[in-house]
Amino acid sequence: MVIIICEKHITTNTMNFLSHLHLSGNSEGLIIGNYIADSVKGSAYNLFSPEIQQGILLHRKIDTFTDTHPIVEQSKQRLREKYRKYASVIVDIYYDHYLASNWQTYSDVGLQDFANNMYEIVMKHHTILPEKSKRFTGYMMQYNILHAYSTLEGIERVLQGMARRSTFQSNMEYATEDLKEHYQLFAEEFALFFPELQSYVKHSISQFHSL
């Protein structure tokens, strides 16, 4: 996996997949589109079925909503001096941790059951996945990434792995300490932000259905 750096945006194959998949609901097309979106650039989404296209577009809408939200910006500001452009990546991972560790608040299905269902759906559509998504799928399932976000140890392993694969020095391997230091503040920001994101996604999906 490679972290790609540009001036305003950072993408990686281990950001907030749990949030994206959870927000996709029960539609396999939306789930797959949301899952592969970071590996599909520009108008290449048109190569997929209509429902997967909607999933890709939904992923992009979620990213834009998140990246520009003032609560998320507040979380990033706490990290920006130390981690600079990587602050947004780290906050995404922190937020997935709070979703996973408070899963019963947001889902009636157990976290491991949800993860197993996602792995099954992704493998069902494995042949149409972009190569980068196929490679990540093996890693995700081997290390049970969707469930690993629920523990600080799991978050630490993810951040350490990302730091090793970063093209530039990121210091992300130390970011678990910042999470521990400001745990309650990040938790409060996530708890305020995520319901707004859920409402936004619900509205976005309803717009897809009205087309």
What confidence tens digit (pLDDT) does each residue in 110-169 have? 999 999 999 999 999 999 999 999 999 998 999 999 999 999 999 999 898 888 877 788
Domain of 36 in residue numbering reads as 12-205
Q: What is the pTM of this model?
A: 0.90
Tokens of 48: 């997929």
Q: Is residue 7 part of a domain?
A: no
How many domains are there within the chain?
A: 1
In a domain, 4, yes or no: no
Whether 34 contacts 43, CB under 8 Å: no
In Å, what is the CA distance from 4 to each residue of 9, 13, 116, 139?
8, 10, 29, 18
Q: Which residue is it, tokens 């500001």?
A: 77
Each residue of 84-119: pLDDT tens digit?
A: 999 999 999 999 999 999 999 999 999 999 999 999
CA 191 vs CA 7, 25, 37, 94: distances in Å: 29, 20, 25, 12
- Residue 132, in any domain of the structure: yes
Structural domain includes residue 127: yes
Asked whether residue 6 carries a pLDDT value surpassing 60, the answer given is no
> CB of 40 within 8 A of CB of 13?
no
Check: CB of residue 149 under 8 Å from CB of residue 93: yes
CA-only gyration radius of the chain, Å: 16
Residue 105 lies inside a defined structural domain of this protein: yes
Residue 5 covered by a domain: no
CA pair distance 159, 174, nearest whole angstrom: 8
Q: What is the pLDDT of residue 15?
A: 63
